[in-house]
Structure 1
Amino acid sequence: MEGRIDLAHEAAFRLGGLEVRPALRQLARDDGTEEVLEPRVMQVLVALARADGAILSRDDLTRSCWEGRVVGEDAINRVISRLRRAAEGIGQRSFRIETVTKVGYRLMRAGDAADLPISRDAALEGMRTELHRLKLDRRAMFTGAGVALAASGGFLAWRRFGMAPSVPGQQKPPEDIAPLMIQAQMAMTQGTVEGSNQAIGLLRRVVLLRPDYADGWGLLALSYSAAAVGWPQRFEADMRTRAAEARRRALALDPRNAYALAAEGLGKPVLGNWLAAERGLRTSLAQHPGNEMLTSALAGMMLGVGRCAEAANLLDGIWRRMPPNPGLAYTHIQTLWATGRLDEADKAMDDAVALFPTHFAVWFTRFYVLMYTGRAREAIALGENRETRPTGIPDWNFAQVLTVARAMLSRAPRDIDAAVAAALEGAHRGAGFAENGMQFLSALGRPDEAFAVADAYFFARGFDPGELRFSTEQGTYTRRSARRTHMLFLPSTTAMRADPRFLRLAEEIGLVRYWKDAGVRPDYQATG
């Protein structure tokens, strides 16, 4: 490793379509766009570029960029986060900064063989090619849409239907509407109200231009169905009426239209219907082996009934061959974490952050995995860095999770009491906060409060968290019939599963009946 980096004497160099000018602290794109970096950020970029793909430790970076001074982890984390934003923004992914867990960092140029697994590179390149040529692989679109519905209507909402839809055909959409279909699919994968609105608007235009196109009507029905369970309740009746009409139009054109059949499945309640859903999915997968949509649906259902290892194995295959989207990314991270595959979860987190650095679900998944795996200090540094926070989240939400992370770090009774108060206050605000609250309280060693929140969340006993998930700014909802169960099987709720009350809770929810009727044991019983 060479010595201190003096920007004034560093020659300019290129990273793909980007010229790096250290002396001026500039990043200049070939189209004339320029951006000025802070001195320290530019020094770290130069150090990583000098290494030419080799790994630099934090000590290496402090010697060359901080003159050997002792600096906190948060300082280096802030600089790395700033570089990642530059890579995604002005850099247009001409490079990326990869974290090598417990070792250091390295800079990967676009096209480097070691950047990502080859199969994943191929999937990414295929996605770019499809977007460029305005063509669409309907299987990929269907999986993306399915994962997006997780955020709006239940964890991987595909699990709701007892009979899975048929596999979409290979016919491409007409050229004049292909761009609209692509944009709608991409909007659906965001898992936000804005994305849902955009998808509906785009698909309305599709069916206006091509009223004889079954997939346009089917995907519109699916979008309306997701809105019915993910938007405020006052919109539910109208969205279901619109979904029914769009579904009727799709099935009149194509009686086996997969999107329309999936939209119909969204009308079924989640809790208590796991066995029927599993049998339907497995039957369809036997007929259509390897279908990504069906596989992702089964993976989501497996995680929700405590069969986490099987969920992770199912998603492994999709993650290697599918174009990525935020929902798929954070779900894969959760399943890896749930099965103790922490190194792989860390790598998946790095990939997800590189692709979707400020997506709310990716950001919070990263924060929580760090916090629950003995890296609360890193989680705190992430939470305190305002520049890398996702937009649309109120400040008090970040303050809440930071309070919990600081208690996880210190384990001081006063800090734990403050975190418990924050978790309980949050659980009264919304369903999503209640899901998080169970995990916070369990991990902090307060099972009584964790079970009290579970009673409220599933049965409205003691208090009712309502259907709003988080803040009104985010505007997403979870119906009472669509309460999620995956968090009951994550490492964060280990203490709850060790408590005799957990089996009673599982029985009342209907999970015990599912395990008995399916002839299976959840992972925690098989290994506990």
Structure 2
Amino acid sequence: MTIGDGSEKQSPRLIGWKRIAGHLGCSERTARRWEAEERLPVHRQVHESKSTVFAYGEELDAWIQTRQLAGSAAPAPSTVTTAPNPGQTGRRFWMAAASLVLLAGLSVGAFFLWNLPGKDVETGALTKLTDDPVALDLYQRGRALWHQRGEEGNRRAILLLDQAVEQDPDFAEAWSALASAWATFPNYADDLPISQTTSEALLAAHRALELDPTLSEPRTLMSEIAAERGEWLRAREIYEEAIRADPGNMTVLVWYAGFYRNVGEITKSLELTSRVLAVEPSSPTALSEHAMNTFFMRDKAEGEARLDRLWNELGFQVSLIWYGKWSALVFREEFEAAIDWGQHCPFEAVCRLFDETARVLQAPDPARQSVLVSDIKSGYQEGLPGFLGVGLLELLGEVSEMTAVVNDEIDRTGTFVTPVALYSPGTPAFREGPDFTDIVTRIGLMDYWQAAGPPDFCAAEPDAHVCRQLLE
């Protein structure tokens, strides 16, 4: 069924919904359902802990469009293309001193927020977040966008949450959400220096905790900072303290799962995401974390089934899910299907690298592969994240070049984002020599493993240099 031709008398609301549906490529039935229900197409998972609000791509765009039609100050999806400019808001100036205090606290390892009293979670109760309905609307939409993950969702979340705290400067939860959005932004885009995004996250986290010292999520932001500094044990301590303070916070638990993934404790990561999914079975972030870890580290068939559900049934069409499915097709040597899947590639300028990798694997050519390897190694200049470069080089069997890419990113940034790329079961040769030990020492993981115990891969690779060092 197509969008109606106007032969029937229609309400202004239905006309508006149909215009939105047409813009999004949805059916008239969908438009009529939205008009009949007259509710925001957003999901709220309510349970004994804090409820979580999220939306999928098509729904969220429709939501933002409706608020724009209703006169909201929120920008249309097509206009939210860049992260906000920190210099444009005057409140940044008066918070600068607070930022310096926080950074000084971190530098001596005595960040004062670690030992703040925890918040008691009242089961079945929903906290009133703000008296300002516009600020609440902006917050909920920004939060839902952030739960989508991906570069576009993260950018748009920052803009909406920034508007929410402008609308209500005392809205602690919105400041907390803004801190989280800034903290995750470097995972999806590199057009802003990590020092800038970290500073923005710290400023927002400080304001959130100043307004409500019992919030746990902005405290966990400090775990990300510690991890970037190579202080992985301290990062774990922060997560454990935050969970003790707010054991039912599903967002913190998913982040903690990500921590364990990054230190190579995949079993613990899967246990935590399973715990979240038992409470919030439709949580996009938990489903994504669980699917990717299952596919790359445990069971490719089960993992791909989970990825397919996220993409096809739930509409969670973000960059990492695309990459997971592309990898599944390549692993099965369905190269034509992988090339065709490239039409959905979200990585813009570097999509050609995925296409070319599939073609080289389909018809091996040493000269062509040599050019491709060179392009992958310089791909970060066009926006290729280092961990994806490592993944492509792994498929090509270029173990020594994987080491070069990792060291190059550490040289440039001081860390390696998403080190789970280093633990793929398919490349034990990458980990067998001292070069890998040098890498994990540079980013602080060797110190963590010496204190916490060897990573999961050492069970299958006890003769790897790093595992011998840890097991001696």
Give the AA of the match of 2:301.
D
Matched, 1:254 2:242: no
State the match for 1:456 in structure 2: 408
Following TM superposition, by how much is the alpha carbon of 1:274 offset from its aligned partner in structure 2, in angstroms?
Answer: 1.4
Establish whether residue 378 from structure 1 lines up as the match of residue 337 from structure 2: yes
Q: Which is bigger in relative contact order (C-alpha 8 A, separation at least 6)?
A: 1
Please point out which of 26, 34, 49 is paired with 1:90. Answer: 26
Q: Does 1:276 align with 2:234?
A: yes
For residue 203 of structure 1, the aligned residue among 145, 152, 161 is 161
1:173 aligns with 2:85: no
SS state of the match for residue 228, structure 2? coil
CA displacement at 1:263 relative to structure 2: 4.5
Q: Note closer, same or farther for the CA distance 1:419–1:182 as it changes in structure 2 (3 Å cut).
A: same
- Aligned counterparts of 1:241 and 1:331: Cα–Cα separation in 2: 26
Distance change in 2, residues 1:245/1:400 (3 Å)? closer
Kindly provide the amino acid, as one letter, of the partner of residue 252 in structure 2: L
Residues 1:138 and 1:232: Cα distance change in structure 2 (over 3 Å): farther
- Please give the per-residue CA displacement for 1:234-253, whole angstroms capped at 9, x wherever unaligned: 6955x666655544543343
Residue 52 of structure 2 is aligned with which of 113, 118, 140? 140
In the TM superposition, what are the counterparts of 1:272-421 in structure 2 within 5 Å?
272-285=230-243, 288-289=246-247, 291-322=249-280, 324=282, 327-354=285-312, 355-356=314-315, 358-383=317-342, 386=343, 388-390=344-346, 393-394=347-348, 396-421=349-374
1:168–1:504 CA distance, 2 compared to 1 (3 A): same
Question: What does residue 74 of structure 2 align with?
Answer: none
**Secondary structure of 2:298's match?**
coil
* Residues 236, 141 of structure 1: alpha-carbon distance in 2 compared, 3 angstrom cutoff: farther
Q: TM-score, normalised by structure 2?
A: 0.65
Other structure's SS at 2:292 match:
helix
TM-superposed deviation, 1:275: 1.5
| 2:443 matched residue in structure 1 | 509
The residue that corresponds to 1:149 in the other structure is none
- Name the CA shift for 1:408/1:188 in 2 (closer, same or farther; >3 Å): same
> In the superposition, relative to structure 1, how do residues 163 and 526 fare at CA in structure 2: closer, same or farther (>3 Å)?
farther
Residue 424 to residue 260, structure 1, CA distance change in 2 (3 Å) = closer
Deviation at 1:185, TM superposition (A): 0.3
CA distance in 2, matches of 1:228, 1:441: 22
Deviation at 1:399, TM superposition (A): 1.8
Against the structure 1 CA distance between its residues 329 and 92, is the aligned structure 2 distance closer, same or farther, given a 3 Å change threshold? farther
Match of 2:392 among 440, 458, 461: 440
- Where structure 1 has 5 or more consecutive residues not aligned to the other structure, the ranges are 1-26, 34-85, 95-109, 111-124, 145-151, 153-159, 461-465, 467-478
Identify the match of residue 522 of structure 1 among 432, 452, 455. Answer: 455
Distance 1:263 1:288, change over 3 A: closer
- Say whether the 8 Å CA contact 1:407–1:415 is kept in structure 2: yes
Q: Is the 8 A contact 2:216 2:245 kept in 1?
A: no
Q: CA separation in 1, counterparts of 2:207 and 2:264?
A: 38
Matches of 1:270 and 1:301, distance apart in 2? 11
C-alpha change, 1:305 and 1:375, in structure 2 (3 Å) is: farther
Of residues 178, 182, 185, the one that matches 2:140 is: 182
Q: CA deviation at 1:517?
A: 0.7
The code of the aligned residue for 2:267 comes to A
Displacement of 1:336 in angstroms is 0.3
Which one-letter code corresponds to 2:266 in the other structure?
C
> Identity of aligned pairs, percent?
22
Do the aligned residues in 2 keep the contact of 1:215 with 1:250 (CA within 8 Å)?
yes
Secondary structure at 1:218 match in 2: helix
Cα distance, 1:492–1:415 mapped onto 2, change above 3 Å: farther
Change (3 A) 1:497 1:482: closer
Match of 1:59 in 2: none
Aligned to 1:5: none
How far is the alpha carbon of 1:502 from its aligned partner? Answer: 2.3
Contact 2:264 2:455 in 1 (8 A): yes
User: How far apart are the structure 2 equivalents of 1:245 and 1:412?
Assistant: 51
Residue of structure 1 equivalent to 2:14: none
C-alpha change, 1:401 and 1:310, in structure 2 (3 Å) is: same
SS at match of 1:272: coil
**What is residue 121 of structure 1 aligned with on the other side?**
none
- Distance apart, 1:318 and its partner CA: 2.4
Q: Aligned pair 1:219/2:155, yes or no?
A: no
- CA offset at residue 500 of structure 1? 4.9
The answer for unaligned runs of 5 or more in structure 2 is: 8-21, 34-38, 57-82, 84-108, 462-472
- Following the alignment from structure 1 to structure 2, what is the Cα–Cα distance between the partners of residues 321 and 453? 39
CA contact (8 A) 1:212 1:253 kept: yes
Letter in 2 for 1:483: V
Q: Distance in 1 between matches of 2:194 and 2:267?
A: 37
The question of whether the paired residues in 2 share the 8 Å contact of 1:308 and 1:489 is answered with no
Identify if the C-alpha distance between structure 1 residues 31 and 448 changes in structure 2 by more than 3 Å, giving closer, same or farther. same
Q: Distance in 1 between matches of 2:448 and 2:5?
A: 58
Report if the CA contact (8 A) 1:431-1:457 is conserved. no
Q: d(CA) in 2 for partners of 1:330 and 1:248?
A: 29
Match for residue 376 of structure 2 among 410, 423, 435: 423
Report how far residue 339 of structure 1 moved.
Answer: 3.0
Corresponding residue to 1:486 among 409, 412, 420: 420
Does the 8 Å contact 2:330/2:358 carry over to 1? yes
Helix, strand or coil: the match of 1:339? helix
Aligned AA (1:524): F
Contact 1:164 1:284 in 2 (8 A): no
- Post-superposition offset of 1:340: 2.1
Shift of 1:380: 2.2
Q: Provide the rounded CA distance (Å) in 2 between the counterparts of 1:290 and 1:404.
A: 43
- CA-CA distance at 1:345 after TM superposition: 0.7
Give the counterpart letter for 2:165 in structure 1. Answer: V
Q: Match of 1:140, as an amino acid?
A: T
- Checking the alignment, whether the CA contact within 8 Å between 2:165 and 2:171 is kept in structure 1 is yes
Measure the CA separation in 1 of the matches of 2:324 and 2:120: 31
Q: 1:495 aligns with which of 411, 416, 429?
A: 429
Contact kept, 8 Å, 1:303 with 1:489, in 2: the verdict is no
- Whether the 8 Å contact between 2:400 and 2:430 is mirrored in structure 1 is no
Q: 1:486 & 1:495 partners in 2: Cα distance? A: 16
Question: Structure 2 vs 1, CA of residues 182 and 339 (structure 1 numbering), >3 Å: closer, same or farther?
Answer: same
Aligned-partner residue type, residue 202 of structure 1:
L
Distance 2:277 2:335 in 1: 27
TM-score (ref. length: structure 1)? 0.59
